[in-house]
């Protein structure tokens, strides 16, 4: 008789805590390296996004503003992203893939 294997998809709070720490560490690394190697910073972002998906941990508001959802670029204002305030909305544009991100801004 075949045994039914049930794999839990739920992640324990301890795992989520580790995931959160790894994400903020990856963002710290991206912040430290983007000047020398933008490609490496982008790689850190895509790793952080993978962790976020796998462990279902959300990014903080600050973290969300620092990467492009479309091409996984680590965004540095004035370098590869442009921010404009229009009608109480903060519009951030990624200069690599031209994708926009809008947030309500008060």
Contact residues toward Zn ion (CB under 5 A) are 68, 70-71, 73, 94, 96-97, 99
Exposure pattern of 69-89 as b/e (b: 16+ CB <10 Å)? eeebbbbbeeebbeeeeeeee
State the nearest-atom distance from the C-beta of 73 to Zn ion, in Å: 5
57 φ/ψ angles, rounded to the nearest 5 degrees:
-105, 135
CA distance 38 to 55: 26
List the structure tokens of 71.
């091409």
Q: Which residue number, 65 or 99, has a Cβ lying nearer to Zn ion?
A: 99
Helix (H, G, I), strand (E, B) or coil at 7: coil
State the nearest-atom distance from the C-beta of 80 to Zn ion, in Å: 8
Q: Which residue number, 19 or 72, has a Cβ lying nearer to Zn ion?
A: 72
State the nearest-atom distance from the C-beta of 69 to Zn ion, in Å: 8
Q: Which residue number, 40 or 99, has a Cβ lying nearer to Zn ion?
A: 99
């Amino acid at each position: 008789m075949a045994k039914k294997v049930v794999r839990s998809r739920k992640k324990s709070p301890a795992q989520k805590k580790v995931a959160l720490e790894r994400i903020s560490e990856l963002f710290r690394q991206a912040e430290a390296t983007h000047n020398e190697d933008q490609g490496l910073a982008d790689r850190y972002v895509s790793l952080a996004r993978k962790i976020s998906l796998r462990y279902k941990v959300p990014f903080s508001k600050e973290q969300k503003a620092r990467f492009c959802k479309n091409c996984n670029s680590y965004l540095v204002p004035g370098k590869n992203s442009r921010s404009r305030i229009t009608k109480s909305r903060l519009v951030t544009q990624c200069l690599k893939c031209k994708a926009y991100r809008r947030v309500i801004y008060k």
